[in-house]
Structure 1
């Protein structure tokens, strides 16, 4: 795809910030957004993995890498400042950071619960609140503005051995619904995409120390492929401003 055709794609002119960019879902989302013409700010914790993804995407002026941990309010603030300094505005936020740890509830490890709460919920709250202002600013100018949260089907299917993860996923779904009512009248859409997970693994937060195992984690972690999740994110952002692809449940065709 040429630079001209990319920047005039369905998301041409959009500026997206992707948390969890080097995770198995985040990478696919970054690729799809760039192909659709958006400029992107890739936010992750591992500089080497960010550099590798930057090279994979061809580098260029439309891709910015920012090192930040979603659980650190200061680092999330710094990511916002870097994005605005580079691109001048932000009109799309995607939060795909997350940790999945499974066990029977009676055998659960409180430290694992704390990590999931910290990343999956508190980190998502940091990102959503910190980037709300520039998104609302974009909406005030009559431009599209979107928040996309990556949830999980387990809020509906009650996956066994994942009681805490299920509870957090349900909280994220309710947050999306509440923010949709708060921000919708102000022109900012809030979407939640819920893919089916096969077994418990995670994005970059669990895998950052072992990137050589990415393919194994990708096969294990989701019954829905990352490319399908990414396609829905792009579709939601590309819709006319008057409609909101509010909640999307993604299931494998053969098991739906």
Structure 2
């Protein structure tokens, strides 16, 4: 993100935890949060990639990297403990972990479905529940508290080769809505950001909104999308506590 975007320093008092930090969306979010002044805990499975990103960010003592698999409850617990031990509190959680596998439903491989369910949904449930307690502690004190989930526009548009991914994305959207009702009265905000892609891309690439493993997917995705998502994360967290930027649909201008 350019420094001209006007967000430098707006999150100077915040402590954020980012799951999926080394993914193509997670990296942009980490860059934006550090530039906005937040302290961050980067969570990912690959220690080497986390170390490289930490050097790239240059945030000094404001950046902590923690190796954890979002599908492991014990490792998620350890990530929370490490964050609190380092910074004393957590007031912003961003969950951008995820995998995508696309195929005609009749040709789908159950092992691929299981992996998506495990990472995209069960892992997100682990992270959201585990970090809810410290977030609610902040909210109960009248301090900011936010959960940001990264969803997909494919919950609302046709994506014929991504039936299982779409179903999981819809589940995440409904979870965000339910948590908003549950936690909102206590002052904690829950946001979901649903990004889209350019119209001239294939269905396979246009509907991929979570971090992807296939480099071809990443190259085909809109180059501006990760930065746009990161900017919205910062905007949502920086708003007055009385306002919740609840659901954000991001589409390329030419397709909107």
- Asked whether the two chains share a fold, i.e. TM above 0.5, the reply is yes
CA contact (8 A) 1:9 1:36 kept: yes
2:4 matched residue in structure 1: none
Q: Please report how far the alpha carbon of residue 223 of structure 1 lies from its aligned counterpart in structure 2 after TM superposition.
A: 7.4
Q: Hey, what's the Cα distance between the residues in 2 that align with 1:231 and 1:205?
A: 20
Structure 2 residue runs without a partner (length 5+): 1-7
Q: Hey, what's the Cα distance between the residues in 1 that align with 2:189 and 2:172?
A: 15
Q: What does 1:96-135 align with in structure 2 at a 5 Å threshold? A: 96-135=96-135
2:77 matched residue in structure 1: 77
* SS of equivalent to 2:26: helix
Q: What does 1:62-211 align with in structure 2 at a 5 Å threshold? A: 62-197=62-197, 199-200=204-205, 206=213
Q: Hey, what's the Cα distance between the residues in 2 that align with 1:46 and 1:202?
A: 21
Q: Hey, what's the Cα distance between the residues in 1 that align with 2:138 and 2:62?
A: 18
Q: Hey, what's the Cα distance between the residues in 1 that align with 2:25 and 2:99?
A: 12
Q: Hey, what's the Cα distance between the residues in 2 that align with 1:203 and 1:169?
A: 10
Any idea what the Cα deviations from partners look like across 1:140-160, whole Å, max 9, x if unmatched? 111110000000000000211
Any idea what the Cα deviations from partners look like across 1:21-64, whole Å, max 9, x if unmatched? 00000000000000111000000001111011000011411000
Normalising by structure 2, report the TM-score: 0.91
Change (3 A) 1:174 1:223: farther
* SS of equivalent to 2:40: strand
Q: Please report how far the alpha carbon of residue 73 of structure 1 lies from its aligned counterpart in structure 2 after TM superposition.
A: 0.3
1:21 matched residue in structure 2: 21
1:30 matched residue in structure 2: 30
* SS of equivalent to 1:165: helix
The reply to whether residue 225 of structure 1 matches residue 225 of structure 2 is yes
Q: Hey, what's the Cα distance between the residues in 2 that align with 1:192 and 1:146?
A: 11
Q: Hey, what's the Cα distance between the residues in 1 that align with 2:164 and 2:107?
A: 12
* SS of equivalent to 1:206: coil
Change (3 A) 1:111 1:222: farther
Q: Please report how far the alpha carbon of residue 16 of structure 1 lies from its aligned counterpart in structure 2 after TM superposition.
A: 0.2
The reply to whether residue 9 of structure 1 matches residue 16 of structure 2 is no
Q: Hey, what's the Cα distance between the residues in 1 that align with 2:116 and 2:179?
A: 21
CA contact (8 A) 1:139 1:187 kept: yes
Q: Please report how far the alpha carbon of residue 202 of structure 1 lies from its aligned counterpart in structure 2 after TM superposition.
A: 7.4
Aligned-residue Cα RMSD (Å) equals 1.6
CA contact (8 A) 2:39 2:63 kept: yes
CA contact (8 A) 2:25 2:96 kept: yes
CA contact (8 A) 1:196 1:223 kept: no
Runs of 4+ in 1 over 6 A off after TM superposition: none
CA contact (8 A) 2:20 2:43 kept: yes
Change (3 A) 1:243 1:150: same
Structure 1 residue runs without a partner (length 5+): 1-7, 208-212
